[in-house]
Chains A and B, each alone.
Chain A
Amino acid sequence: MSDSTDVASDVVVAARKRARSLGEKAMGRIFLAPSLGFMALIALFPVIYAVGMSLYNIRGFNQDFVGVENYVRALTDPSFWNAVKNTLIFTVASVSLEFVVGMAFALIMHQAFVGRGLTRAVILVPWVIPTAVAAQVWRYMFDHNPGFVNAVLGTDINWLRDPAWSMVGIISADVWKTAPFVALLLLAGLQTIPKDYYEAAKVDGANVFQRFWLITLPLLRPAIVVALLFRTVDALRMFDFAYVFSGYSNSLATLSVYAQRYLVAEPQLGYANALSTVTFVIVMIVGLGFISRMGRHMVGDVGRKEKR
């Protein structure tokens, strides 16, 4: 008697479980559909469309299929290589400086107790200011008159006309704006490192630099990789600083600026789409390189927690 009711209740439970998991499966798909649909329509489809357009020579209403001619043109276009060069210089210089300054700031904030809260609030201020606004402010700070940079440095440099010095200008502006962001990411990482490790190292006689090199850096690696990923990708697709500092001129043109020039200022849509596609591919390759090093770690975290 009792056996049969047990069996019956088992069946009911199993059926309920099945119904629920069916419901959950359907719910999963329904929940995911709006996001995936939207991104497919507004991001994925346009990229495919751009690749298609890049195979045509477009003049007004005339479209002639030219195959990979636009890409060949890019490879033989000195201005394109100039844009590649500018983008790489900007990316390498700004990301490495941001890393060094951000690390210094993170260590300072991690050491201090009095005033840390205030500093952590203030450090968000550069991050929240729109890049185009920051770019204007920095451009005028570097301007001959009445900018103050020459006055403070005691130099007489025409920062906005000389391409090399303009590059220094946009790198400084970018480092100012995003080093604090890097500092926040690294500070969060520092706070996860147990204090005991440092105590133990001290007892073993490790000095400050050894402790930093052998404990802080390795344990901070996940935070470092995430910070470098965000910063590198952002630097590679950078438009605002270069455009506000010197418009479409070749002196500062990054890949985004150079593509935008042929999209809007001097429309040559086939070529422009080839350029934006190349930018897209470069950004994706670099980003995927980072993600393949840490993606499993980040993504796996969601999976791990779920099993708990």
Chain B
Amino acid sequence: MSVRSTEGGRDAVRRAQRSRGGVPPAVANALKLLGLLVVVVWCLFPFLWMGMTSLRTGSVALTNPNILQGPFSLGNYQEVVDQGFLFPLRNSLIVASVTTLICIPVAALAGYALARLPLAGKFALLAATLVATLFPPVALVNPLYQMYLKLNEWTGINLLNSYAGMIIPYVALTLPLAIFILATFFAGIPKEIEESAKVDGATPFQAFLRVVAPLAAPGVGAAAILTFVYATNEFLLAFSFAPRDLDVQTVPVFVGTFERVGYENPIGQIMAASVLVSIPLIIFALVLQRRIVAGLTSGAVKG
């Protein structure tokens, strides 16, 4: 008797819950999956179009929007490689890697100092770092150009049309965000660990190098990835300082300023180039997903 009454009670509760929730769980789950599908389609549909368009050749490819309409071939890839697209791929890789390799160690030192060491005006310095992340690159175009010309005049070192000419401003523009991310990560490491290292006789510098730096590795990884992506993405300064020379031109400049040869519409080649640069970057994003999210959100999740 009593058992039945509790069962009835449970049923009533279940019914009440269902009516309040509005939808049965199976439908709710289906809706959730449908929502995720919308997000995935949103993110990927241009790549479907890009990939199919890169494979289409012949005059139909220039007039018919139906991406399933052939003929298909790898001709566009052949052409874009013949036009030297592998050079910009290499250049972007070099510029982004060197930028990251310079920026991160320098930023790690500053981030550690801001998070841990006694400094006058620390709050002002952190605020200034945050403000420096706002810097619009267009404000650098002419002054840096003039500085490069002067440097060439005085020392014979030419930074125009060189990797260094891009890497130098990239480091300056990525330093603030890297410093900010790293300072946040360093501040999250318990101070006691460091103190105990010092009690054991480590100098402050040893404590930083042996104890704190390894613990901050996730932060270092996140900052490095963001720096790398910034440098592969940057267009305005690369376009101003290294616009044409294939030996130094980066991918955004090659693709963004792709010019038609003769009267041919270069859509096929542009899409082939886009696919060639997208594949490694997409793999990069998928593999390093967790680190990227940690880096992007390190400033945002502070409740």
Contacts and interface: CB of A to CB of B under 8 A. Distances in A.
Interface stretch (A3-11, A92-100, A221-229): A221-229
B25 interface: no
Interface string A113-136: 111101111111111111111111
B244 interface: no
A303 B122 contact: yes
A277 B142 CA distance: 11
Contact of B282 (A125, A130, A131, A191): A125
Contacts of A124: 285-286, 289, 292-293
A27 B113 contact: yes
Given A108-B39, A176-B42, A263-B141, A301 B184 contact: yes
A78 interface: no
A140 B130 contact: no
A223 B301 contact: yes
Interface in A272-308: 272-273, 276-277, 279-280, 283-284, 287-288, 291, 295, 297-303, 305-306, 308
Interface in B190-234: 190-191, 198, 203-205, 229, 232-233
| A119, A130, A184, A276 pick with most chain B CB within 10 angstroms | A130
Contact of A108 (B35, B236, B286): B35
Contact of A121 (B136, B179, B251, B285): B285
Nearest to B187: A305
Interface in A61-87: none
A122 B138 contact: no
Contacts of A179: 42
A303 B53 CA distance: 52
A128 B138 contact: no
B62 A145 contact: yes
Chain B binding surface SS class: helix
B270 A138 contact: no
Contacts of B168: 42
Interface in A34-53: 34-36, 38-39, 41-43, 45-47, 49-50, 53
A130 B232 contact: yes
A301 B232 CA distance: 31
Contact of A23 (B20, B115, B204, B240): B204
B43 A122 contact: yes
A184 B296 contact: yes
A236 B138 CA distance: 11
Chain A binding surface SS class: helix
| A124, A135, A288 pick with most chain B CB within 10 angstroms | A124
Nearest to B287: A121
Contacts of A276: 136, 138-139, 141-142
Contacts of A256: 136-138, 236
A163 interface: no
A141 interface: yes
B118 A136 contact: no
A166 interface: no
A129 B137 CA distance: 19
B36 A108 contact: yes
B13 interface: no
Contact of A305 (B65, B146, B188): B188
A259 interface: yes
A160 to B, nearest CB: 13
Given A23-B204, A38-B171, A129 B278 contact: yes
A269 interface: yes
11 contacts: A31-B113, A38-B172, A53-B143, A108-B36, A147-B65, A185-B296, A263-B141, A263-B145, A276-B139, A288-B134, A291-B130
